[in-house]
Amino acid sequence: MFSTTKRTMLCINCFRESSVDARLHCIDLDTAYGQGCKKLERAVMYSLLMYRCRDSLVRSDFADSDSTNVKLIIISI
């Protein structure tokens, strides 16, 4: 079992000794793995989207400016 509150794996003995409320926050390993994969995929897609947005903003800014007035864009995420 995997505890979503503690973010740790529980052996069957620890699971049995835990309170009923704590057991409600436990899921099986396959479900935890699936949720972790989805979360990682969303994070990677978000990161790629932010990188592409930042890259296109920087490129469009440099394309619009003349050689004597170069702007520096700092985008914090």
List Cβ neighbours of 2 (8 Å cut-off, separation of 6 or more): 8, 9, 10, 26, 27, 28, 29, 31, 32
Structure pTM?
0.59
Q: What is the pLDDT at residue 19?
A: 92
Say what the pLDDT of residue 61 is: 62
Q: What is the pLDDT of residue 29?
A: 92
Strand partners, 27: 2
How far, in Å, CA of 51 to CA of 71, rounded? 19
What integer pLDDT is reported at residue 67 of this predicted model?
47
What is the domain partition of the chain in residue ranges?
A: 2-64
Burial tier of 10 (Cβ tally within 10 Å: 0-12, 13-18, 19+):
middle
Residue 44: strand, helix, or coil: helix
Low-confidence ranges of the chain (pLDDT < 70): 61-77
